[in-house]
């Protein structure tokens, strides 16, 4: 450090070089994390894009998945069964939000916040009051781990393919179509005999199940579950959805490809995060940075529309003047 301080210019270059190296070596890890968070983002896509509901339950149903995973595994349960239980626990969280929204008449965002708050306590209960529980790859035969990144990427990739295939099938069925119609136009859905309330609950169940599954995967990958592991998950999910749309929207029209775009969005997000961290951004400022990026990307379509309307207005004025 002292030597660097003396030879200023060269040292900075050297430092950058080191950081670039660090960036490149951390790329595979970023990709693995990105894919797993991309799975989470597919859950967000179902509520945010298909059902047209911003569901904040995910911030803690993600942790529920992780907590359940650790507790099931450490109690000796089979890994696949553990992941299934994690998925089902997420489904329950979604069910709760769905009931609060449709049967209690609470706006979706608030219903999600209430469930999320409740889940914090529930997750602590699941982990017997501990804020953090280890799940060591040395002790258990896990599917993914930080220590085996290439294998983790492969496993996460297989999960993505299977999940997208299942969702592609589901949203092509009569029930799946009725879910899409519910998100698109509720009046029309009801006029065609679709139970929109039940469909919203169903969508929330499915979404949070997937989110919790992603939580169980991340727990295996990082080797522990943490009470705060899902903090800001909705923002990361939205970021992945939006990046996927902005970058691949023009090429990926098919539903399966669009979901794939979301996962790619997750990977891009994590690569960018790794890059800005390696460029020297304080890790503590990360959430601020994420929120800013998502806010700007959410604003872009709105600004575009405003601009278009302004231009249309001007055109109209010009025509009036001409007449």
105 interacts with another protein by CB under 8 A: no
174 interacts with another protein by CB under 8 A: yes
193 interacts with another protein by CB under 8 A: yes
- Per DSSP, the residues of 272-320 read HHHHHHHTT--GGGHHHHHHHHHHHHHHHHHHHHHHHHHHHHHHHHHHH
Shortest Å, Cβ 51 to another protein: 12
**Contact yes or no for 112/97 (Cβ under 8 A):** yes
How far apart CA 184 and CA 182 sit, in angstroms, is 6
190 interacts with another protein by CB under 8 A: yes
Q: How far is CA 282 from the centre of its chain?
A: 23
How far apart CA 182 and CA 176 sit, in angstroms, is 10
**Contact yes or no for 48/241 (Cβ under 8 A):** yes
Shortest Å, Cβ 86 to another protein: 24
230 interacts with another protein by CB under 8 A: no
- Residue from 19, 90, 17, 33 nearest 277 by CA: 19
50: which DSSP letter?
I
Shortest Å, Cβ 181 to another protein: 5
80: which DSSP letter?
H
Binding range to another protein, per CB under 8 A, among 63-71, 109-117, 172-180, 255-263: 172-180
177 interacts with another protein by CB under 8 A: yes
How far apart CA 227 and CA 37 sit, in angstroms, is 17
304 interacts with another protein by CB under 8 A: no
Shortest Å, Cβ 176 to another protein: 7
Sign of the CA dihedral running 95, 101, 106, 111: positive
Size of interface with another protein, in residues (CB under 8 A): 22
> Which residue, 12 or 192, has its beta carbon nearer to another protein?
192
Shortest Å, Cβ 175 to another protein: 5
257 interacts with another protein by CB under 8 A: no
254 interacts with another protein by CB under 8 A: no
Shortest Å, Cβ 221 to another protein: 32
Interacting residue with another protein among 14, 18, 188, 307 (CB under 8 A)? 188
> Which residue, 170 or 224, has its beta carbon nearer to another protein?
170
Interacting residue with another protein among 22, 184, 292, 296 (CB under 8 A)? 184
Interacting residue with another protein among 61, 196, 207, 274 (CB under 8 A)? 196
How far apart CA 213 and CA 219 sit, in angstroms, is 10
**Contact yes or no for 233/290 (Cβ under 8 A):** no
101 interacts with another protein by CB under 8 A: no
289 interacts with another protein by CB under 8 A: no
Interacting residue with another protein among 1, 13, 191, 283 (CB under 8 A)? 191
How far apart CA 266 and CA 2 sit, in angstroms, is 39
The two three-digit tokens of residue 241, written as one number: 């959805």
Question: Rule CB under 8 A: which of 108-167 touch another protein?
Answer: none
- Classified as helix, coil or strand, 254 is coil
Give me the residues that bind another protein (CB under 8 A), please: 170, 172-178, 180-181, 184-185, 187-196
């Amino acid at each position: 450090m002292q030597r660097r301080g003396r030879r200023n210019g060269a040292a900075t270059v050297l430092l950058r070089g080191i950081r670039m190296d660090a960036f490149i070596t951390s790329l595979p890890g970023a990709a693995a994390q990105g894919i797993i968070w991309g799975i989470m983002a597919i859950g967000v896509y179902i509520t945010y894009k298909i059902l047209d509901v911003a569901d904040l339950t995910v911030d803690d149903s993600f942790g529920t998945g992780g907590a359940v995973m650790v507790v099931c595994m450490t109690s000796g349960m089979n890994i696949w069964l553990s992941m299934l239980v994690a998925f089902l626990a997420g489904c329950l969280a979604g069910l709760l939000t769905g009931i609060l929204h449709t049967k209690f008449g609470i706006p979706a965002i608030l219903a999600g916040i209430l469930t999320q708050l409740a889940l914090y306590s529930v997750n602590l209960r699941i982990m017997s009051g501990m804020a953090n529980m280890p799940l060591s790859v040395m002790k258990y035969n896990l599917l993914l781990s930080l220590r085996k990144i290439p294998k983790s990427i492969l496993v996460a990739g297989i999960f993505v393919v299977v999940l997208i295939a299942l969702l592609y099938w589901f949203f092509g069925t009569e029930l799946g179509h009725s879910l899409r119609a519910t998100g698109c136009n509720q009046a029309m859905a009801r006029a065609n005999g679709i139970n929109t309330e039940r469909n919203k609950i169903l969508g929330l169940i499915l979404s949070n199940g997937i989110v919790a599954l992603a939580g169980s995967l991340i727990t295996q990958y990082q080797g522990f579950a943490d009470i705060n592991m899902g903090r800001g998950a909705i923002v990361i999910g939205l970021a992945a959805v939006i990046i996927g749309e902005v970058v691949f929207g023009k090429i990926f029209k098919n539903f399966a490809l669009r979901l794939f775009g979301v996962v790619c969005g997750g990977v891009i997000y994590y690569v960018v995060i790794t890059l800005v961290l390696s460029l020297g951004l304080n890790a503590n400022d990360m959430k601020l940075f994420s929120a800013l990026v998502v806010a700007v990307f959410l604003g872009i379509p709105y600004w575009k529309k405003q601009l278009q309307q302004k231009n249309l207005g001007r055109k109209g004025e010009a025509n009036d003047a001409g007449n």
